[in-house]
Amino acid sequence: MPNSILTIDMITRELMLRLENNLTFTKYVNRNYNDHFAMTGAKIGDVVTIRLPPFFVGRTGRVINIEPLTEQSIALTLDTQYGVDLDFTSKDMLLSIDDFGERLLQPAAANIANKIDRDGLALYNQIFSAAGTPGSSMTFLQYLNSGALLDEQSVPRDGLRSMVIGPRQQANIVDVLKGLFHSSTEIEEQYKQGTMGLTGGYKWSMDQNIANHTVGALGGTPLVNGASQTGASLITDGWTASVTNILLKGDIFTVTGVNSVNPMSKGDNGQLQQFVVTANQSSSAGGAVTIPISPSITTSGAYQTVTASPADNAALTILGTAATVYNQGMAFHRDAFVLGTADLPLPMGTHQASRISDDQLGISVRMIWDYDVTNDLFVARTDVLYGWVVARPQMACRIVGN
């Protein structure tokens, strides 16, 4: 039975529900709205500080060794206000909420959800680990290797790992696994829906918003220039001289002789540490490039990342082919990424305004109506104020194959 008349609160709540249903990547990240982002009257540019858990070296033996507590934190900036604007008539307000939602709110919610997902997946270029061979079809073993990379970074196996890949990546892996044994539930997902469900330690989803990465121009034979380097940059030479964007933000490379360590035990993982370039770089007239990198080269202490600093003239190996575009799927734990949304102010002097904030969904949505008396139209705007941050890059791994 249709409602006598729809109210702005009913419509805003329905928009919130449809927005949640349309999110893909964002469903699986940390959206801790209630703890961090419940600020009334927020605006673009507001910053929230998120504390990260500390690491320790530990002690062997009975003699106490008190370690200085070095707390780390990151800033999340609420930098995006996005919405969809629409109009509807008095007659539309006599529809049932389901009919109104299907006609008007569903397209709006899908648009907002795609934008939020797309912005989150664009953070791939801050993730330093990658699994697969760029440009080649992924095998199931390579997907499992992404889990091994997370294991080597002490990422918990607590049911909060997810795999979000693109349409072609999903089609390829479903085809690869179609003849292998799975539970009846997963077989049904693969054959009826063309999706993976829960497989290989991940909750799998497809998102058409996964990013593509273009590798830098590259060129030359890049080598480390100077031994015993540590920190968030690496001095190199041997590149082709005077090349603009010889490296692009998001390029991944390894250095001969520099292995990753387990962040808890500090033990050698037996694998070369992958580094990501954090800003575009061009080569000098002499073929030198100082590369800003993540993670930092740290050879000891609670935040050790590598077994040793690189030797002078150690070779760099760049992942992928110069100037080539590759898919960037994502394997990750929930706490790798944080989405923050905040309560936008409800203005005075408008026809109606409503705001729905849900601490379980981790999202706040505002809707404002004005009335066009000439045309008997309600003009509505919807807004979500949000920001993304990579909280723990070691808890994610890029999927670079097809």
Range of the domain at 171: 127-211+328-335
pLDDT < 70: residue spans in the chain: 1-4, 32-41, 52-59, 67-71, 178-197, 349, 359-361
The verdict on residue 117 lying in a domain is yes
Structural contact between residues 272 and 255, judged by C-beta atoms closer than 8 angstroms: yes
Instruction: Count up the domains in the chain and report the number.
Output: 3
The verdict on residue 108 lying in a domain is yes
Write the CATH number for 164.
3.30.2320
Residues 20 and 117 grouped into a single domain = yes
Separation CA 204–CA 206 (nearest Å): 7
Model confidence over 289-308: pLDDT tens digits?
A: 999 999 999 999 988 999 99
CA dist 397 → 126, 300, 305, 388, 393 (Å)? 10, 24, 16, 17, 8
Asked which of 335, 356, 373 is the last residue of a domain, the reply is 335
> What φ, ψ does residue 11 adopt, rounded to 5°?
-70, -40
The verdict on residue 64 lying in a domain is no
Structural contact between residues 396 and 332, judged by C-beta atoms closer than 8 angstroms: yes
Q: What was the pLDDT predicted at 336? A: 95
Any idea of the CA torsion for 206, 207, 208, 209, to the nearest 10 degrees? Answer: -160
Separation CA 228–CA 240 (nearest Å): 24
Asked which of 303, 335, 367 is the last residue of a domain, the reply is 335
Write the CATH number for 299.
2.40.30.290
* 334 Cβ contact partners less than 8 Å away, ≥ 6 residues apart: 28, 29, 30, 160, 161, 162
Q: What was the pLDDT predicted at 180? A: 56
Q: What was the pLDDT predicted at 181? A: 46
> How many other C-beta atoms are found inside a 10 Å radius of the C-beta of residue 205?
18
Residue in 205, 164, 159, 203 with CA at minimum distance from that of residue 330: 164
Separation CA 399–CA 402 (nearest Å): 8
Residues 224 and 301 grouped into a single domain = yes
Separation CA 124–CA 138 (nearest Å): 18
Residues 88 and 175 grouped into a single domain = no
Q: What was the pLDDT predicted at 340? A: 86
> What φ, ψ does residue 217 adopt, rounded to 5°?
-65, -30
Residue 190 in tokens: 């693969």
Q: What was the pLDDT predicted at 57? A: 60
Residues 108 and 152 grouped into a single domain = no
Asked which of 286, 313, 335 is the last residue of a domain, the reply is 335
Residue 229 in tokens: 């380097």
